[in-house]
Amino acid sequence: MSELSHCVEMAMMCRQCALEDTARSAKWLAEAEKWNQRAGAALGHPFEDRTADRSKSAPQVKKHH
């Protein structure tokens, strides 16, 4: 398994743990972020920059009152 694959798999596992262990979800999400940063290092650039760009282009949902 490549370093990138390992990091992505670990980040996904941590996010799943956050869903299942709601009492410690903040801890699991912080761990997931660490693995995302390691994945970015394995790619040679920050992984979160790629995901942040996608969220900026997502359509905004308007709430009707």
pLDDT greater at residue 38 or residue 49: 38
The pTM (predicted TM-score) of the whole model is 0.65
Which of the four pLDDT bands, split at 50, 70 and 90, describes residue 36? very high
- Per residue, the 3-state secondary structure of the chain, as one string, reads CCHHHHHHHHHHHHHHHHHHCHHHHHHHHHHHHHHHHHHHHHHCCCHHHHHHHHHHCCCCCCCCC
- Per-residue pLDDT tens for 39-63? 988 888 655 555 555 445 555 555 5
Summarize pLDDT for 12-22 with one digit per residue, the tens: 999 999 999 99
